[in-house]
Amino acid sequence: MSIRENIKEVLISEEQIRNRCKELGEEITRDYGEAGVTPLVIGLLRGSVPFLSELIKYIDLDLQYDFMDVTSYEGTKSTGDIKILKDLDTSVVGKHILIVEDIVDTGRTLTAVVDLFKKREAADVKIVSLLNKPSRRVMRIEPDYNGFDIEDYFVVGYGLDFNQHYRGLPYVGILNDDQY
Binding site for ligand IMP (CB under 6 A): 47, 72, 101-109, 154-156, 160-161
Q: What is the number of helices (H) and of strands (E) in the chain?
A: 3, 9
The DSSP string of 2-33 is: -GGGGEEEEEE-HHHHHHHHHHHHHHHHHHHH
Cβ distance to ligand IMP smaller for residue 31 or 161? 161
54 or 101: CB nearest ligand IMP: 101
Residue nearest to Mg ion (CB): 47
Residue 73 interacts with which of Mg ion, ligand IMP, none, CB < 5 to 8 Å by class:
none
| Smallest gap from residue 14 Cβ to ligand IMP (A) | 18
CB count within 10 Å of CB 17 equals 23
| 66 catalytically annotated | no
Catalytic residue among 69, 102, 105, 124: 105
Q: Which of 25, 39, 43, 47 binds Mg ion (CB under 5 A)?
A: 47
* Shortest distance in whole angstroms from residue 64 CB to ligand IMP: 22
Query: Considering only 3-11, 47-55, 80-88, 91-99, which stretch makes contact with Mg ion by CB under 5 A?
Result: 47-55
Dist CA 19 CA 3 (whole Å): 25
Please, which residue, 32 or 80, has the CB nearer to Mg ion? 80
Q: Which residues, 6 or more positions from 8, have their beta carbon under 8 angstroms from its beta carbon?
A: 173, 174, 175, 176, 177
Looking from the CA of 153 toward its CB, the CA atoms found within 13 Å total 21
Can you give the length of the chain in residues?
180
Q: Which residues are catalytic?
A: 105
